[in-house]
Amino acid sequence: MKPYIIVFGNEKGGTGKSTLAVHVSVYLLNLGFRVGTIDVDARQGTFTQYLEHRKASSLNLELPQHMAIIQSQFEDREKARMDEYERFCQVLQPMSTCDYVVIDTPGNDTFLSQVAHSSANTLITPLNESFVDLDVLVKVSADNLKTMRPSIYAEMVWNQRKERARKGLKPLDWIVVKNRLNTFYSKNRGDINIVLEELSKRIGFRLGVGFSERVIFRELFLSGMTLLDMENTGHSLSLSHVSARQELRELIDFMKLPCQMAA
């Protein structure tokens, strides 16, 4: 059923959710799909601002159908939740004709973020290769690197999966991607890989790889461009740019989306 919903979620900022969300959205647009995008992190608004820069560009860059949702101003908790849920549904409804909807969520726990997670067909959780980021998923023993218990975020995702099963919906495909990677190997990287491999089997996510840490991603933000736009707009590509574009293609392939070619 349309649309297929891809959510970028993590209760920690600075992991590259918005950059990944924009690049995946533009990649799908380039394949000829109809794409909607939703920013439920409207207070920070990085996803929205990126697309605003894209809209303002003189390069006639392709745009998704975009909406941002701010948190409710109701002081009563239940009224606020009802208000946010209704506005999420109102934003999603006109995107029913889209093939894909890509949603960016905040780096903290909000009700809007929970609603977005509950709607996901694919959930992508980017992590930097550090034990600070890993703490979002699991509590790890400092003595032997054994996983002690899932974190609050992992439990939230698990509960959303159970809710989908209760409603008879298809299982959520949860993908954890190592993102903003350094090019050099370290013992820290090796230790984190060991924990993630063990954890993926324990709580049921697929472990993939996102983007390496590159200056180009910070430079592209103000122009609204992505790596996919550079060649089409006459910009020269370095080997680093070509490698980054290949990383995006590999991530899309790893996601195993319903279709790889537009109808």
For the segment 32-81, what is each residue's pLDDT rounded down to a tens digit? 999 999 999 888 899 999 999 999 999 989 999 999 999 999 999 999 99
Mean pLDDT of the chain: 88
Q: Which residues pair with 103 in a beta bridge?
A: 7, 38
Q: Per-residue DSSP letters for 100-131?
A: EEEEE--SS--HHHHHHHHH-SEEEEEE-SSH
| Least confident piece of the model among 188-197, 198-207, 235-244 | 188-197
For residue 43, the SS3 value is: coil
Going from N- to C-terminal start, the domains of the chain cover 4-136+171-184+206-255
Predicted confidence at residue 183, as pLDDT, reads: 61
Predicted confidence at residue 235, as pLDDT, reads: 81
Q: How large is the average pLDDT for residues 251-257?
A: 93
- CATH number of the 4-136+171-184+206-255 domain: 3.40.50.300
Report how far apart the first and last C-alpha atoms of the chain are (Å, whole number): 15
- Rounded to an integer, what is the distance from CA 239 to the centroid of its chain? 25
For residue 162, the SS3 value is: helix
- 159-187 pLDDT, tens digit each: 888 888 888 888 899 999 988 777 655 66
DSSP state of 3: P
Name the amino acid, one letter, at 171: P
Predicted confidence at residue 134, as pLDDT, reads: 80
> In the numeric block, which tokens belong to residue 221?
């933000």
Cβ neighbours of residue 235 closer than 8 Å, sequence gap 6 or more:
none
CA-to-CA distance for 45 and 37, rounded, in angstroms?
Answer: 13
Asked if residue 15 lies in contact with residue 130, where contact means CB atoms within 8 angstroms, the answer is: no
Asked if residue 103 lies in contact with residue 121, where contact means CB atoms within 8 angstroms, the answer is: no
Asked if residue 151 lies in contact with residue 139, where contact means CB atoms within 8 angstroms, the answer is: yes
Which position has the higher pLDDT, 13 or 90?
A: 90
CA-to-CA distance for 58 and 233, rounded, in angstroms?
Answer: 11
Gyration radius of the chain's alpha carbons:
18
Q: Which of 156-160, 193-197, 228-232 ranks highest by mean pLDDT?
A: 156-160
